[in-house]
Amino acid sequence: MIMGLLEELPAFAWILIKIVAILIPLLLGVAYLTFAERKVIGYIQGRIGPNRVGFRGMLQPFADIIKLVFKEIIIPVRSNRYLFFVAPIFTLTPALIAWAAIPFAPNLILANINAGVLYVFAMSSIAVYGILIAGWASNSKYAMFGALRSAAQTISYEISMGFALVGVLIAAGSMNFQDIILAQQGSLLNWFFIPLLPLFMVFWISGIAETNRAPFDLAEGESEIVAGFHVEYSGVSFALFFLAEYASMILISFLLAILFLGGWLSPFEGIPGLDEWFAWVPGLAWMLLKVSFFLFAYLWLRATFPRYRYDQLMRLGWKVLIPTTIVWIPVVAVLVKLNVGPWFS
């Protein structure tokens, strides 16, 4: 028994190394996404943004992290102590572990599981528990309202997101992320955002709403309910919510790139001349380029659009996005059945 475990040890160590190799770039990505957010929104609004710590403010994220770690963790008197600390962990963990099934480049993936899409979808759904627990355990009105709003919003947009995913599954015929990317091979015209354009838009909007980002950030609308469900959190316990939110933003951007924009595939594929020119570019670079586009769009949208009102938010989710997907799923199914080219032939 013990000998058997010892033989497995190198395999375990190798898996651990791979997990660390995913987590460290992810956490650095989160750190610099917060920096990029402040810089981008600063420049859009005609400000400079943070520029004091390090060269042009490049070390700002680390200053923020150090500050947060050394801040007091306040436990409100009437909160449920244990749930109060379980909630941030419960929010962060799903946002991190969803990355197990995400492919970064051909075969650069931690767990190449058959039901990858289902797994990631499930993990992104679990996050709502963390929000509800946080709002309830805080025993504060603003936290409670924020949690209720946020939970209702997340589950409403999860439906349209799930339906949009069904469209992708029909088109690709697989739940494995690598297979979905390979199904879009050929050229830029084969990417799923063309035949699934309405679903692409629905998924994008739902993704922004799922992560509670502007213009759908009314769960934490500063001017009405201060910070929403995490109003009572401070120090590291707040940082965990922050980390989870940004990690899910990056996750949604990866999903958009994989499901609709061909993941690591080059946009110049199949074009004589250009294809050979760009053959040296690794798949990871294309992937990150597409992801950066969606992340920039997150910041751009936040700087551009005013916040939705709650009834508008619910109307958009239930009366626009869900009917759109219900119409487009049969259309995709018929397109696949008729083998309409160039996507499904």
Beta carbons of 75 and 101 less than 8 angstroms apart? no
Tell me the closest approach of the beta carbon of residue 314 to another protein, in angstroms.
5
**Given 188, 285, 297, 333, the residue binding another protein (CB under 8 A):** 333
**Given 53, 58, 63, 85, the residue binding another protein (CB under 8 A):** 85
Q: Is residue 138 a contact residue for another protein (CB under 8 A)?
A: yes
Give the HSE-up count for residue 75: Cα atoms under 13 Å, Cβ half-sphere.
9
**Can you tell me the distance from the alpha carbon of 119 to that of 231, in angstroms, rounded to the nearest whole number?**
30
Q: Taking CB under 8 A as the criterion, which residues in 218-257 touch another protein?
A: 226, 231-232, 235-237, 239-240
Q: Taking CB under 8 A as the criterion, which residues in 8-27 touch another protein?
A: 12, 15-16, 18-19, 23
**Given 42, 76, 106, 186, the residue binding another protein (CB under 8 A):** 76
**Can you tell me the distance from the alpha carbon of 337 to that of 345, in angstroms, rounded to the nearest whole number?**
10
- Which stretches of 269-345 are DSSP H helices? 274-277, 283-304, 310-315, 322-337
Candidates 182-190, 194-202, 275-283, 328-336 — which segment interacts with another protein by CB under 8 A? 328-336
Q: Is residue 143 a contact residue for another protein (CB under 8 A)?
A: yes
Candidates 142-150, 209-217, 251-259, 287-295 — which segment interacts with another protein by CB under 8 A? 142-150
- Pick between residue 140 and residue 211 the one whose CB is nearest to another protein: 140
Q: Taking CB under 8 A as the criterion, which residues in 152-191 touch another protein?
A: 152, 155-156, 158-159, 162-163, 165-167, 169-170, 173-175
| CA dihedral of residues 102, 88, 91, 209 (deg, nearest 10) | -110
- Pick between residue 150 and residue 253 the one whose CB is nearest to another protein: 150
Q: Is residue 108 a contact residue for another protein (CB under 8 A)?
A: no
Q: Is residue 331 a contact residue for another protein (CB under 8 A)?
A: no
- Residues of the chain by 3-state class (helix, strand, coil), percent to 5: 70, 0, 30
**Given 47, 56, 81, 315, the residue binding another protein (CB under 8 A):** 315
**Can you tell me the distance from the alpha carbon of 326 to that of 41, in angstroms, rounded to the nearest whole number?**
36
Give the chain's end-to-end CA distance (angstroms, integer).
52
- CA dihedral for 161, 167, 173, 177, sign (positive or negative): negative
